Chains A and B, each alone.
With several copies, the nearest count.
Chain A
Amino acid sequence: MRYIPRMTTTVRIQSEPFDAAAEAKKLSGGRTDVGALVTFTGICRGNEGSEPIVALTLEHYPGMAEAEIERHVAEAVARWPLIGVTVIHRHGRIQPGEDIMMVATASSHRQAAFAAAEFLMDYLKTRAPFWKQVEKADGTTWVDAKATDDAAAERWAAPGRKHAAAE
């Protein structure tokens, strides 16, 4: 009989800071079927090019942000043999050095955990309804979307692409 793991998925949108390490630990704690845990943390940088950043402000579309992320988490769970997935994304004003968002993926095997984390990041960047405004000494501007992010997201949709689903 195929082993069906107990699956844990968490999606949270919040203005409060979060503890990425503690959140990741929840995926592997108290169980012994997780062999690989990948955590990505996106952090607010203190500069853009050579210009200092005072803060980022993240606007989001409440309701749609959760739904869109949950849809991609469900797709990741369908594509890779995962045991747990956590996505937390902050909105509001965030200062340099603070965490903006995190993705954690747990699996029996490393390639599934890595692939799912990258897949979720690529989709979050291009499909989750969040918009970054950057605040500098001389005013605020909206961050432009990057063509490289669209390209990164598209590689997951390319026909015939093979995924390393297990070790």
Chain B
Amino acid sequence: MKLRYFAWVRERVGKAEEDVDVPDGVATIGELMTWLASRGEEYAHAFDNPKVIRAAIDKTHVKPQTPIGTASEIAFFPPMTGG
């Protein structure tokens, strides 16, 4: 599964995207963030306050409780500040 990071989430993780094998038992966006936070210091820093992180599955906004399902691309980013 492809993960993409934007803005300060990208800066903290230290990369814009990566391919990961998500372990069994990680079923929702929220669980994916918890698992990512356990992957090292930079991830722990990026995901230390998951409440402020927004997510999209295949370029559509989703909530933490949304199941990952058969997503091909999941993105994590801070609240948006365009306009």
Contact = CB atoms under 8 A, between A and B. Distances in A.
Instruction: Assess A/B contact in the complex (Cβ within 8 A).
Output: yes
Given A127-B61, A129-B6, A64 B81 contact: no
Interface residues on B, range: 10 to 19
Contacts of A130: 80-83
Given A59-B7, A142-B8, A125 B59 contact: no
Contacts of B79: 126, 144-145
B77 interface: yes
A65 B56 CA distance: 11
B30 to A, nearest CB: 20
A131 B7 contact: yes
B71 to A, nearest CB: 13
B59 A61 contact: yes
Given A127-B61, A131-B6, A142-B8, A61 B82 contact: no
The SS class assigned to the A binding surface is mixed
A62 to B, nearest CB: 9
A49 interface: no
29 contacts: A58-B82, A59-B7, A61-B6, A61-B59, A61-B77, A63-B59, A64-B60, A64-B75, A67-B60, A68-B61, A89-B82, A100-B83, A121-B83, A125-B80, A127-B61, A128-B80, A129-B6, A129-B75, A129-B77, A129-B80, A131-B7, A131-B77, A131-B80, A132-B81, A133-B7, A143-B81, A144-B79, A144-B81, A145-B79
